[in-house]
Amino acid sequence: MSVALDLAPATEAEVAEVLADCHARRTPLRLTGGGTRVENRAAGETLSLSRLSGVVTYSPGEMTLIARPGTPLPEIERMLAAEGQALAFEPPDMRPVLGGNGTPTLGGTVAANASGPRRLLVGACRDHLLGVRFVDGRGRILKNGGRVMKNVTGLDLSKLLAGSHGTLAVLTEVVLKTLPLLPARTTLAFPGVTEDIALRIFTTALSTPYEVSGAAHVGGAAYLRIEGLDGQLAYRRDRLLALLADHRPEVMDEAPWQAIRDVAHFAGGGPLWRILCKPSDAPGLCDRLRRMGGDCSLDWGGGLIWYHGPGNPRALAPYATLVRREGAEGPAFPPLPPAVARLQDGLRRSFDPAGILNPGLMDA
């Protein structure tokens, strides 16, 4: 078979055929779906998964969705909303940040383990992934997991593939747990507070049983979100208002959670870094980052920092990923500790011994 640019297989069998041929010839491939998640500088010819699209089955009663990776994410969200359900992990739309004009896909969401503000309450994308079908770097079609939570036994490879950015295998089908779309939500806003005060607010609120589903600090204001049924929502709101009265919270029915989710406040130019840290370290780390000449925002109750500005924050924060380069140099993904790097290399050799899947993506 002759491999050409812009390969676009429409079936799992075609994906397996392409990967088997590329494995035999040691031909590198750069995987792409909607092209909206990362700046993919991997070497090789382009393997587009956009035609590997469509919902295989959706069972609202069982709250289970099975779909192919090229399925547009907005299409899935509309289908779920019509049944009063949603992807609970609130996947962000990175187009405001990266400036892409493609359409986010389900496969890209899973491959990046993309998760929004609700992660601190319900977990990340991988926590809602019940199973996968995939093609490894040899061209073998494999599956792991099941269609319901009780059938997910043994080694859970789906959790391993979520967040691997297509460097281990090509997803051909994903099984996701859906959850009811919460009918009501409200936000407590705390304008004019520093990260240090915001962290105190987050720590107090997140230690309660009131199920805070968002805790962010953007533009000098802290935000807490709660969601649920109208009656119990009012109860939880009032308890949080009383608990945090010293910080003079304001109640907002309409709050900028979509913009927070999509990091729209840092849309445009300039390098943008995504930094994972202990929430207790966030205020001090933001102070040091600002001395480099940029600005910061917080999500996940302080566990996620977005840094927009010059310099390389890895000297301060080892788990810093360069999301938007705009002139910044160096690898996008942070270097791993030696023991973790050895484990990662071993996994890559097992899944993709010829190194054909997105080579260099994690290092470029």
pLDDT attached to residue 298:
98
How is the chain split into domains, by residue range? 1-181+335-364, 184-261, 264-324
pLDDT attached to residue 41:
78
The number of C-alpha atoms within 13 Å of 48 and in the hemisphere containing its C-beta is 11
Q: Is 3.40.309.10 the CATH number for 184-261? A: no
HEC readout, 168-196: CEEEEEEEEECEECCCEEEEEEEECCCHH
pLDDT attached to residue 357:
95
| C-alpha distances out from residue 40 to 36, 62, 107, 136, Å | 10, 36, 15, 20
Tokens of 265: 């406040």
H helices present in the chain, as ranges: 12-25, 73-82, 95-98, 106-111, 119-122, 157-161, 195-206, 230-243, 257-261, 282-290, 338-351
Domain range 1-181+335-364, CATH class: alpha beta
pLDDT attached to residue 316:
94
pLDDT attached to residue 238:
96
pLDDT attached to residue 189:
97
For residue 213, which of 245, 271, 261 has the smallest C-alpha distance?
261
CATH topology match: 1-181+335-364 vs 264-324: no
* Cβ-based neighbours of 212, under 8 Å, separated by 6 or more: 120, 121, 205, 206, 224, 225, 226, 240, 301
> What fold is seen in the domain 264-324?
Alpha-Beta Plaits (3.30.70)
Residues in the chain: 364
pLDDT attached to residue 146:
63
| Gap between the Cα atoms of 318 and 151, Å rounded | 37
For residue 343, which of 160, 191, 94 has the smallest C-alpha distance?
160
pLDDT attached to residue 358:
92
pLDDT attached to residue 342:
93
Q: Is the dihedral of CA 171, 173, 179, 180 positive or negative?
A: positive
For residue 90, which of 64, 115, 123, 120 has the smallest C-alpha distance?
115
pLDDT attached to residue 100:
76
* Cβ-based neighbours of 240, under 8 Å, separated by 6 or more: 188, 205, 208, 210, 212, 224, 226, 249
CA angle 61, 66, 72 (to 5 degrees): 115
pLDDT attached to residue 147:
58
Tokens of 294: 């940029």
Strand partners, 129: 176
Cβ atoms of residues 185 and 90 within 8 Å = no
| Gap between the Cα atoms of 228 and 147, Å rounded | 27
For residue 308, which of 330, 287, 323 has the smallest C-alpha distance?
323
pLDDT attached to residue 1:
40
Strands 212-218 and 221-228: antiparallel
**Which segments in the chain show pLDDT lower than 50?**
1-6, 149-152
Tokens of 321: 């990923």
pLDDT tens, 25-51? Answer: 999 999 998 888 877 777 889 999 999
